[in-house]
Amino acid sequence: MHNDCAVDEESGKPEIVLSYIGTKGGVDSLDQMAHSFSIKKRTKIWPFVVFFNMIDCAGVAAKVVWSKKVPRNCYAQSDNRQQFLIQLAKELVFDQVKRRAVAAKTMNLPYRINLDTVLDSLSASCDQSGTSSKRQAMSSSSKKTPTSSTLSDSKFPASQKA
C-alpha cells in the first residue's frame, strides 16, 4: 500500500502522510477519552508508561464494547465513562477480595473488619444497579481503634453477563 514514495501533486506531501492525517481522528478521540479519566502516574520508568497507556486504552475499549452490547434501556445511569470504569474496577477486584476474606483468619482485627466492610460494599455494588445507598468505611485512628463513617455512594449498573 505505502511501499512507494508517491507524492501528492496538489499539496506536495507524501501519500503516507496524507493517509495518516486522514485517519488520525480516531487516535485523537481515543487519546482525549483516555486522558479524561486516566490512571497514569508521573514516572520516568518507560514500562510503567506503556502499561498505564494500555490500561487507559483497554478502559475506553471496554466501555465502547459494553455500550454496543447492552441496549441503552437496560441501564438507568447516564453514559458516563468514569462511573463505568469505577464499576468495572469493583467487579474485577471482587473475587480477589472474597479470597482474601476467606484467608483473613491470620490478619489483625482492624484489617479483618476493614476487609469485611469493603467486601460488603463491593458485593452490594456488584449486585444492585442504578440505586443510591450508603456504605460504611472503616478507618483506624492513631490509637489503632477502628472507627466507622458513613459515605454516600451512588451505585452503578453491573455489567450484563452474556
pLDDT, averaged per 10 consecutive residues of the chain (162 residues), comes to 74 83 77 79 87 89 85 62 84 83 73 78 64 44 47 42 40
pLDDT for 139 equals 46
pLDDT for 128 equals 57
pLDDT for 79 equals 63
Residue 157: closest CA among 134, 132, 129, 131? 129
